[in-house]
A and B are shown apart, each in its own frame.
Chain A
Amino acid sequence: MKEYVMGNGAIALGALKAGVNIACGYPGTPSSEIIESLAKHPHEGLHLEWSVNEKAALEVAAAAAYSGARALVTMKQVGLNVASDPLMSLAYVGVEGGMVIVSADDPGPISSQTEQDTRRFADFARIPVFDPASPEEAFEMIQDAFDYSEKYKTPVIFRPTTRVDHGYASVEASDAYVPKAYDGFTKDAGRFVIFPRLSYKNHGLMEERNVRIGEDFSSYKFNTVEGAASEKAVLAGGISYMYAKEFLKDHPEVKLIRVATAYPLPESFLLKALEGVSEVLCIEELSPYLEEQLLKLAGKHHLPVTVLGKLTSHVPAMGENSADSVAAILRNYLNLPADAETNDASDLPELPMRPPVLCAGCPHRASFYAVKKAMAGEKTYYCGDIGCYTLGNSMPLDMVDTCLCMGAGVTMAQGFSHIDGEGKAFAFIGDSTFFASGITGVVNAVFNEADITICILDNSTTAMTGHQPHPGTGINLMGHDAGKISITRILEGIGLQKVVTVDPLDLEKAIATVKECAAIKGVKAIIFKSPCIAIEKSKKKCTITESCINCKKCIRETGCPALTLADGKVVIDTLLCTGCGLCKQVCPVKAIGGDEG
């Protein structure tokens, strides 16, 4: 039967059809729904987990793949940086059962720190990479990825991008999935214990094998040539192939070459596809990977072909491609007139900006506000981290001075404390990020005698990526209650000067707690504990009473989206308000009431 699913759902269904035995991942947009989709199909012989981070996920899966099982690992592109240590070594050791690492790229970037390109990581690690262009393809291609992995006993990377992950299409689903039958682990120290001698030997074998895989890929069904034999050709990969295909359906006189396996490059396929071609335009997102490979190929074989793309400014170096940007690029390349069908957009009225903000009632707003008030007038360093609370940077809170990568807030605050003994350094980190990569940073702080205050913004979920459970929430993906791991007890075990928990919505107490902790030398932690408003739905509402003097302090200080102006007067949007009561505590004339449930 056909099921209409998100691309990430299609990847999950494909993996199930391929008999996946174990799937591990760490949430990250745009990859998160793969594991969530798998969780809708629990069955005997399938272990599922949200791992504590991507490195853990990859290592758990690697042991399963050593045992002959089929293993799936999912993450976003920056997650692959975290998993790169085991990945690089695993490439040398190889696997017994099929192992597919899904690393979802985010051109734009829409929800990421970088516009890095996973295809380069595959090349760097010397392992194959598959590049699906649609949810339907992703469903088929992930099954092929498992087969190739098993055939060549190497982990492979599967690289969808946002529009494939979050596009919807119909794919074949089943009621019953049969996990692969596997033999189990056979001890073989010469194979599974990485030593310099083994690495030397396997490095040679990998390079020799990759030539064979490139040949194998030359007949892979998703590496295709369409259109007529033309001197001017187009080469595309990923979703850009679909954009090009959609435009070129009205121009069948143009040759369209599609490369679905960027590494190892299908050389024979490309040499044949480029016969008679004098100019080729490469359309791809993120890095000019295919373009550079083509330049190498042309150099190696002395091909009389001009290669155009990002390196020649025919395609933008950064950002996401779209149906329109690709159409414009192709019109320019093929000397076609501009499309007259588009609405004239020259005299549009000025549009309001809508930067993403913390939700109305978000407890993070109250936590940031408490620290801001407590530290008013002091020299401070506010080190942020990755999660919803990165939005604490926006006005009027303006409480994030740095944001680098997962877990960096805790460690960067230490750097500031060592370099400037005067300033007060704060780290803000969410509960899920704390478990993912915050703990080792806290250990570092205590051991190296930093003077910092760590603010754990504990909303009991992984909110930004869609509310996944984590070790602090107890229930795991197998549906078992593993017991909540206590952040307080972890911090106490590490030996901090002070560990205190406070409700951020109790503003007075929260401010007093921050002042008290900031005054103590050493490593202190404040756990601001209050659930995400999307998890614990509140029926409470705040109301503005007649004593409002319209000073707008509530709007200016909190920036809560539920507070707006109507005819110059402050009003509360009752649909958004959760009755958190922060504005009530900020109001100088006590004109805000309500919050009865």
Chain B
Amino acid sequence: MNKDILICGVGGQGTVLASGIIAASALAEGHIVHSAETIGMAQRGGPVTSHVRIGADAYSPLIPFGKADLILGFEPSEVVRNLRYLSKDGLAIVNTAAVKPVTASLSGSGYDGTEMTEYLSKHTRCILTDGDKECEKLGSAKFLNILLLGIAAGSGVLGLQKDTLVSVIEKRVPAKFLEANMQAFLNGFTIGQTKGE
């Protein structure tokens, strides 16, 4: 199996945990994995990406443009920013809830992600989900990353077993949040199954 997965969002949204879980699950299923993270100054509210490359065909940690099978998008404008990575028949899973940068609040610009979401639904194969609303059901926006991971798993695009992902999540998330994270994963899984058809 060869799979290229790009995870993108804004620093602080929990993209690193999501990429770590995907990479660990692929390793557990015996695949060769390479990945890369944004670390440093950009983490502070800037755009962040994680590249996860599964399979023996990948030499470099960065996915070339047009090769990603999946963009797991934590923020709509960040998906648009990284759209060039998506392959022609690739899937974008998008949290439609926008993260407004300080610059937008200062200038009073009306950025709220709507334009991004409209563009995406016109130009790409995508699963759109309002992460804020889904997380409200779970009681905290902290579970966004596992929710989106669940959607990816449910859509089947990851090529990884549900059980493998679940057992990795069990190891990676703090015990006191495990139950809520599992619920987030399962809610996401159902969304992915339904909308991924």
Residue of A nearest to B42 (CB): A356
Q: In the assembled complex, how far is the CB of residue B87 from the closest CB belonging to chain A, in whole angstroms?
A: 7
The answer to whether the Cβ of B81 comes within 8 Å of any Cβ in the partner chain is yes
Which of A163, A242, A356 is the most central at the interface, judged by chain B CB atoms within 10 Å of its CB?
A356
Determine if A352 and B61 form an interchain contact, defined as CB atoms under 8 angstroms apart: no
Q: In the assembled complex, how far is the CB of residue A539 from the closest CB belonging to chain B, in whole angstroms?
A: 13
Determine if B44 and A391 form an interchain contact, defined as CB atoms under 8 angstroms apart: yes
Alpha-carbon distance between A155 and B147 when the two chains are bound, in angstroms: 50
Determine if B141 and A575 form an interchain contact, defined as CB atoms under 8 angstroms apart: yes
Residue of B nearest to A465 (CB): B40
Cβ 8 A contact of B65, one of A166, A342, A552 = A342
Q: In the assembled complex, how far is the CB of residue A37 from the closest CB belonging to chain B, in whole angstroms?
A: 14
Determine if A357 and B34 form an interchain contact, defined as CB atoms under 8 angstroms apart: no
Cβ 8 A contact of B58, one of A246, A391, A561 = A246
B106: A residues at CB distance < 8 A: 395-396, 555-556, 559
Cβ 8 A contact of A353, one of B24, B44, B87, B101 = B101
Determine if A349 and B116 form an interchain contact, defined as CB atoms under 8 angstroms apart: yes
The answer to whether the Cβ of B181 comes within 8 Å of any Cβ in the partner chain is no
Alpha-carbon distance between A327 and B100 when the two chains are bound, in angstroms: 34
Q: In the assembled complex, how far is the CB of residue A570 from the closest CB belonging to chain B, in whole angstroms?
A: 9
Alpha-carbon distance between A144 and B48 when the two chains are bound, in angstroms: 34
Cβ 8 A contact of A351, one of B65, B77, B124 = B77
A166: B residues at CB distance < 8 A: 36-39
- Given A168-B33, A168-B36, decide whether A356 and B101 contact each other with a Cβ distance below 8 A: no
Q: Could you count the A-B residue pairs with CB atoms below 8 Å apart for me: how many are there?
A: 160
Alpha-carbon distance between A357 and B10 when the two chains are bound, in angstroms: 12
B12: A residues at CB distance < 8 A: 359, 576
The answer to whether the Cβ of A323 comes within 8 Å of any Cβ in the partner chain is yes
Q: In the assembled complex, how far is the CB of residue A96 from the closest CB belonging to chain B, in whole angstroms?
A: 36
Determine if A341 and B87 form an interchain contact, defined as CB atoms under 8 angstroms apart: yes
Proximity bits, B58-86, A CB within 8 Å = 1, else 0: 11111111110000000001001101101
Proximity bits, A340-354, B CB within 8 Å = 1, else 0: 011101001101111
Alpha-carbon distance between A169 and B59 when the two chains are bound, in angstroms: 11
A168: B residues at CB distance < 8 A: 23, 33-37, 61
Q: In the assembled complex, how far is the CB of residue A559 from the closest CB belonging to chain B, in whole angstroms?
A: 5
A134: B residues at CB distance < 8 A: 34, 59-61
Cβ 8 A contact of A358, one of B11, B44, B100, B111 = B44
Q: In the assembled complex, how far is the CB of residue A9 from the closest CB belonging to chain B, in whole angstroms?
A: 12
Determine if A323 and B62 form an interchain contact, defined as CB atoms under 8 angstroms apart: yes
Cβ 8 A contact of A343, one of B38, B66, B104, B141 = B66
Determine if B45 and A356 form an interchain contact, defined as CB atoms under 8 angstroms apart: yes
The answer to whether the Cβ of A447 comes within 8 Å of any Cβ in the partner chain is no
Q: In the assembled complex, how far is the CB of residue A60 from the closest CB belonging to chain B, in whole angstroms?
A: 26
Determine if B105 and A564 form an interchain contact, defined as CB atoms under 8 angstroms apart: yes
Determine if A246 and B40 form an interchain contact, defined as CB atoms under 8 angstroms apart: no
Q: A interface, how many residues as a size bin?
A: 35 or more
A394: B residues at CB distance < 8 A: 102
Interface hits, A89-138 → B, CB 8 Å: 110-111, 134
Determine if B64 and A110 form an interchain contact, defined as CB atoms under 8 angstroms apart: no
The answer to whether the Cβ of B159 comes within 8 Å of any Cβ in the partner chain is no
- Given A30-B40, A168-B36, decide whether A352 and B111 contact each other with a Cβ distance below 8 A: yes
Alpha-carbon distance between A341 and B63 when the two chains are bound, in angstroms: 13
Determine if B108 and A163 form an interchain contact, defined as CB atoms under 8 angstroms apart: no
Residue of A nearest to B120 (CB): A349
A552: B residues at CB distance < 8 A: 108
Residue of A nearest to B28 (CB): A4
A351: B residues at CB distance < 8 A: 77, 80-81
Interface hits, B114-168 → A, CB 8 Å: 115-116, 119, 123-124, 140-142
Alpha-carbon distance between A403 and B130 when the two chains are bound, in angstroms: 41
- Given A352-B111, A464-B41, A563-B105, decide whether A243 and B47 contact each other with a Cβ distance below 8 A: no
Q: 10 closest A-B pairs (Cβ-Cβ)?
A: A111-B40, A167-B61, A342-B66, A323-B64, A242-B60, A29-B40, A341-B66, A356-B44, A168-B35, A246-B59
Please name 19 pairs of A and B residues whose Cβ atoms are closer than 8 Å in the assembled complex, sorted by A.
A111-B40, A134-B59, A167-B34, A168-B34, A168-B35, A170-B32, A245-B59, A245-B60, A246-B59, A323-B63, A324-B65, A339-B66, A342-B65, A354-B45, A356-B45, A394-B102, A464-B41, A559-B102, A565-B100
> Which B residues fall within an 8 A CB radius of A?
10-12, 23-24, 27, 32-47, 57-67, 77, 80-81, 83-84, 86-88, 100-106, 108-109, 111, 115-116, 119, 123-124, 140-142
> Which A residues fall within an 8 A CB radius of B?
4, 6, 29-30, 110-111, 134, 163, 166-170, 239, 242-243, 245-246, 249, 322-324, 327, 339, 341-343, 345, 348-349, 351-359, 388, 391, 394-396, 464, 466, 552, 555-556, 559-561, 563-565, 575-576
Q: Knowing that A166-B37, A243-B62, A323-B64 touch, tell me 15 more A-B residue pairs with CB under 8 angstroms.
A: A4-B23, A29-B41, A134-B34, A134-B59, A163-B60, A239-B60, A323-B60, A343-B88, A353-B101, A354-B45, A354-B101, A356-B45, A388-B44, A559-B102, A559-B106
